[in-house]
Amino acid sequence: MPSLNSEEEAAGQLSRTQSTVVNTMHAPQVQPDEVLTQANFEVCHLPLTPYASPLAKRAFPLDNLPRVVYNTFVNTTAAEVLSFENAGPHNKLHFNPEDTVVGIVSCGGLCPGLNDVIRAIALFSLEAYGVKRVIGFKYGWLGLMDEGLGDAIELTTQNTRDMHRFGGSFLGSSRGRPVQENGEEMVDNLLRLNVGILFALGGDGTLKGASALHDYCQKRGADISIIGIPKTIDNDVCYVQKTFGFETAVNEAVMALNAAQAEARSHKYGIGLVKLMGRHSGFVAAQAAVAFGSVHIVLIPENEITLAMLYQLIEARFKRKKYCTIVVAEGFGQSLMASSGGKDASGNQALGDIGIYLKQALEKWLKSKYEEYTVKYIDPSYMVRSCSATTNDAAFCLQLANHAVHEGMHGSSDCLIGYWNNVFTVVPIQLCISKRKTVNIFGDLWRAVREITVSLHERRARRVSVGPPPLA
């Protein structure tokens, strides 16, 4: 990695890196180099909608909902005004509710809110639409294969009623068993169980699998709707303002930061180091830092710096106070460590442990400069992943699930339920997986981080209150 001698040099290097942004604090932003057309936003719908919706008897606005504008700002370079389809209930349905079997599968790692979404899909399908049956496929894509089909469980109003009170996943989860290699077998089993709608909960890899499964269904002529619900703590799904579990993750991360700072400030030359989720995108680390308000250094994959620059920032902090709180996203600094070259079960590049690496590097550096020092390292990852959703996240989960059921019954497919400009949307999966959402280091969120963290530039001296003289 080239040496970065100043923050301006770092910014100059990174300005050449493309970054797709949806700011979680403010309205979504449009990248100026977009070359999208409206065709990219059009959703696949299974043909024919001959059945009347049972919700038509209620006072719901059905159909003809206004589209949701993608081009948030006037100065966008897009040739046309682009828009998402508004998610919601419909007058006419593709599936006859009383004959419809709904399936749910959850893939990838754990995430706060999983049980909220599973529960809401099951209850809304059964109680609002009156579907015939809801099946939960256990342990990810494995549950749709012959070897895992025996673990499938029927979800009822009784066994789902209280599941949202607990963290983890009622259906379990797993990585691997890619749809691209096992799609035919999965479609066979869906047809055998007469599943008409399959809801897939997961991140980038799961969404790719869901889209591939839709293609298998189309080739087989199987009348099955595949709906994705984006589940990723990292909040890195593109063209989606936020994903469920992200807010809870930030809330839990702030508690870890509070503990790290308590440890650091209790020691002379103390450093509190917290590692948070963020393989490619540092949203959790950045948002948690802003929410906590007292982090001194934030390290994310979108803004790589050298160890030498990190040491300079720590020294700058020590000139003001004898302690420092650092938060690092798990994907930061991978070039600093020797790569194993391995991959995990999902096919992702195996990451080195940047938290342990930085702890050891900081201890070595501190030992060479100070007689008294300490580094307290906290990795709350599994505590964050396995907790239950906060109230606001839980409400978001329920709304995501209800909108997914609306669209599934209508016959939408190869799409996911998103959130844009504070409106629930229907987004083609292929659009979302075309690239990854990352923190814009020239956007509002990162500017907020920069405004509260250590700088190598002199800032105006803080006002010093008059107090008692120091002890002799």
Element containing residue 420 per DSSP (H, E)? strand 415-420
* Angle, helix 283-292 to helix 246-265, in steps of 10 degrees: 60
Element containing residue 313 per DSSP (H, E)? helix 307-318
Report d(CA 335, CA 360) in Å as an integer. 16
Token couple for 297:
């250094």
β-pairing verdict for 83-86 and 68-69? antiparallel
- Nearest CA to 238 among 63, 435, 13, 8? 435
- Nearest CA to 413 among 203, 206, 199? 199
Report d(CA 99, CA 152) in Å as an integer. 19
> What pairs with residue 362 in β-bridges?
none
Phi, psi of 403 (to 5 degrees): -65, -35
Catalytic residue, chosen from 234, 236, 393, 414, is 234
Residue 112: what residue type?
P
Per-residue CA distances from 271 to 265, 326, 359 (Å): 8, 7, 9
379 is catalytic: no
How many whole angstroms from its chain centre is CA 164? 19
Q: Are the C-beta atoms of residues 248 and 260 closer than 8 Å to each other?
A: no
Give the catalytic positions in this structure. Answer: 234
